[in-house]
Amino acid sequence: MPAQKDRWFPSFSFLLFCASFIPMLGSTSLLQELSPQEYFSSLQAGRASLAYFSHNVSPGAQPFLEQIENSVEALQDYGISVVKVNCPKEDVSRYCGKENALRKAYLFRGNMLIREFPTDALFDVNSIVANVLFALLFNEVKYVETLTDLQNIENALKGRSNMVFVYVPATGTAEHRAVMEVAFVYGTVHQFVLTTEATLLKDTGDEPDASSARLLFCHCQQATDVAQPCRKTPLEQDLTVLNIHRHLKLMGAPLVTEVAEDPEKVSTVHLQLGLPLVFILSQKETYEADRRTAEFLAWQLLGKAGVALLSRDLVDLNVLLRSNVALKTPDEGVPIKYLVLEDTDEVITLVEDKSKVEQIQEDEDEEDEDEKENDNQDVQDDQVVEAVSRDKKRELPLEQILTLTEETFHSAMLKAAQTVVLFYASWEAVSLAVLQSYTEVADHLKGVQGVLLSRVNCWDWPGVCTTENVTQFPTIKIYKRGEQPLMYNGMLGTEELTSFIMLSRVSCPLKLMTIDEAEGYLRGELPTELSSYHHASVLGVFSTAMSKAREAFIEAGSILSGHVTMGMYFEDDALALSRKYAVSPPALLLARSGDRSVEGIALSKESAQDIVQMIRYRLLDTFPEITVQNLPHYLQLRKPFLILFSDGDIGQLESKEMLKLAKGIPQQVFIPCWLNLKNTPVGHGVLKAYFATVPSLPVLVWVNLHAGGQVFKFPSEQSVTETNILSWLEKLKAGLEIPSRVFLSATNWHRLQLNRSETRPGGSCSRGPKPPEFAVCPSLSGLHVAGSKILGPLLSSSHGPSS
């Protein structure tokens, strides 16, 4: 691919490059040496083996034997054994007795001879692997010599299947081997056709280059008429296993993806493979024409970019109405470009010449004032990849984690009461980092009855991941017999994940039958193995007639399962229990671990989401210190933040006044909190994004993470007291204060966000492989390796206090 195109996916290429250089373990010879009797008696039905028969090793045969030995491990990956058969001098059988027989290698499947190879045709590892797989994949890879043969195969496939047509200058080359290795995996999905006849390339419309291998993906499945030719999309890169696999993934992706959500949250296989995504902005009145335009563009850009159709009627876009195209690149932290283009040629040029994006937007966008911060973030991003690449040489202890395949997945779900499944992509850095944490979780849970930890590599088993609706990498789900799977959305650290797995073993909510059981529950009387993970108990108390409130509480329990323990009591004496804590049903009783007091909370709203929000809010600290680990919990409340930034512990006076303010405000109006720059250094970057330079500390800031536009700074000449703060907030509410900073783009915060954008199916990068073939994306949610990105949402801002 030209250098211009390569710039779309540097990170992906780098990961694949690192993966290809993982050292092989072990240095002992893997080549078996057997007698003829031992060899033929060891053959197993259906299993392939490559054998070389020899009386003694002549100097001329030594190079061949070295190459055979070097190919042992590569062939073993495909279940093919390699054996040197030592013939006794007196043996005059078919394979040992004739001189010309000793100059050949033999490929058997079971005890049936498949092919004889002259030893001079097996001159290196590539030729050995290529020729052996070629012989075994007789049906999957057809060899053609004439245009008539090629057309007959193509016609037979039309309307049924697609074809992968490959030209190689000669068999036994590295390109031939790469094609055979891919065909071994995908031969049942596509029909592979191979030729060494350069004249057949003329049928593609290109001038044949007999010196270079070439691959064309032929879209025959869409050709329903025999007279209709199959569209052909060439692979413009070298023929390697990874490049061919990548090409097939792109060809298998939807031609046009219809989108009905924020483009920032959308991802497709193209973005995951390092290619841009072009959005055609549509509306109801022009939908049909826009759809045709999108399909035309998609064919023109196939293999170079993805195309999505975005309806303005379904998504509220804060962009110019005349904008008709948007471009999303796979580069981390780069905002989506909204453009006004005249025709499809401009769109194609835009993709093929990345510099055109900046040229078109030259008069529309401001210069990035935070280039230095962006550079720092690039370094942090590289640290994730660097750490994973460095640790690839260290073999992970995966013995306690069951590896699942398409064949074993469903049966494995029945092996234990609770099966935890990690869905990941072996090519993707974050997945590998989480896999390391997952092994630590397995070690923590070793010996726990009824819990089975397992993993699915979506690169190898994409069908499983698609069926299980995996829309981001990595994804962790817990399966229980007879229940819907529970997806984990928390931090991906060892401690957090272990706690979630253990707490999710308990029914949520627990149904308690007597007051004694309810009182014991509030005292924290749970199974001993849960004691170290239990932090608070929430008990819902209802009368027997409150069925609607009970149903909402049960639904809330399913949402919070694994995060908190919840109980429910609705017997006839529920009123007596609740009055003991000065509330009446429906009510929540909250008991924190280590605190003997029980808080009674009237349940004024009876929807599941309101109950979830109330419980989350009540479990949080009154005046918390914001950290990488706890920020996601506070973000879930979707409330404005009043943050006191300090360089170390805050003063006693400020702490006292802020705590008084926090206790006095109406429930859930905003979140008073503080951030210690020494504990969370990324706060420096947040402040620079707000004020260009870090102001004198401490500094009090109002910011609403869920409404973009403005940041307000508390007057530095005033002391931080409850009275002064409340007076200042009233001025903000009345619109009497001038913002300290106006953000023109809400995408600024993405630069520091560890959780890469999430999409749902169709762009579902619960923002997602099988390699990414089904709109799946990496999710770095909660990963501790680049904590600054977790705090990125603090770069989004507000218009003032919510009324």
The more confident residue out of 41 and 525 is: 41
Q: How confident is the model at residue 743 (pLDDT cuts 50, 70, 90)?
A: very low
- Distances in whole angstroms, Cα of residue 558 to Cα of each of 20, 99, 619: 43, 75, 17
3-state secondary structure string, 415-444? Answer: CCCEEEEEEECCCCHHHHHHHHHHHHHHHH
Q: Which region among 85-99, 519-533, 538-552, 589-603 has the lowest average model confidence (pLDDT)?
A: 519-533
Average pLDDT over residues 743-755: 36
Q: How confident is the model at residue 152 (pLDDT cuts 50, 70, 90)?
A: very high
Q: How confident is the model at residue 425 (pLDDT cuts 50, 70, 90)?
A: confident
Q: How confident is the model at residue 497 (pLDDT cuts 50, 70, 90)?
A: confident
Is a pLDDT exceeding 90 seen at residue 101? no
What is the reported pLDDT for 709?
52
What is the reported pLDDT for 527?
66
Is a pLDDT exceeding 60 seen at residue 385? no
What is the reported pLDDT for 3?
41
pLDDT in tens, 234-291: 998 899 999 999 999 999 999 999 988 888 888 888 888 889 999 998 887 778 888 8
Instruction: Give buried/exposed letters for 592-603 (b at 16+ CB in 10 A, else e).
Output: eeeeeebebbeb
Is a pLDDT exceeding 90 seen at residue 192? yes
- Distances in whole angstroms, Cα of residue 241 to Cα of each of 9, 17, 179, 669, 776: 17, 12, 7, 56, 21
Backbone angles phi, psi at 106, to 5 degrees: -120, 135
Is a pLDDT exceeding 80 seen at residue 59? no
Q: How confident is the model at residue 737 (pLDDT cuts 50, 70, 90)?
A: confident
Q: Which percentage of the chain shows pLDDT scores above 70?
A: 78
Global pTM value: 0.44
Q: Which percentage of the chain shows pLDDT scores above 90?
A: 19
pLDDT in tens, 453-485: 999 988 778 889 989 998 788 899 999 888 888
Is a pLDDT exceeding 80 seen at residue 413? yes
d(CA 199, CA 214): 13
pLDDT in tens, 535-574: 778 888 888 888 888 888 888 888 888 888 888 988 888 8
What is the reported pLDDT for 219?
93
Is a pLDDT exceeding 80 seen at residue 783? no
- Helical (H) or strand (E) element with 643: strand 641-646
Q: Which region among 181-190, 463-472, 475-484, 776-785 has the lowest average model confidence (pLDDT)?
A: 776-785
Average pLDDT over residues 695-700: 90
List the one residue out of 583, 576, 559, 567 whose CA is nearest residue 525. 567
234 exposure class (CB count in 10 Å sphere: 0-12, 13-18, 19+):
middle
What is the reported pLDDT for 181?
92
What is the reported pLDDT for 402?
92
Residues 341 and 310: beta-carbon distance below 8 Å: no
What is the reported pLDDT for 400?
87
d(CA 84, CA 105): 9
Strand 257-259 versus strand 306-311 pairing type? parallel
Beta bridge partners of 641: 671, 703
| Average model confidence (pLDDT) across the chain | 78
Strand 32-34 versus strand 81-86 pairing type? parallel
3-state secondary structure of 108: strand
Task: Taking the CA atoms of 181, 182, 185 and 187 in sequence, report the sign of the dihedral they define.
Answer: negative
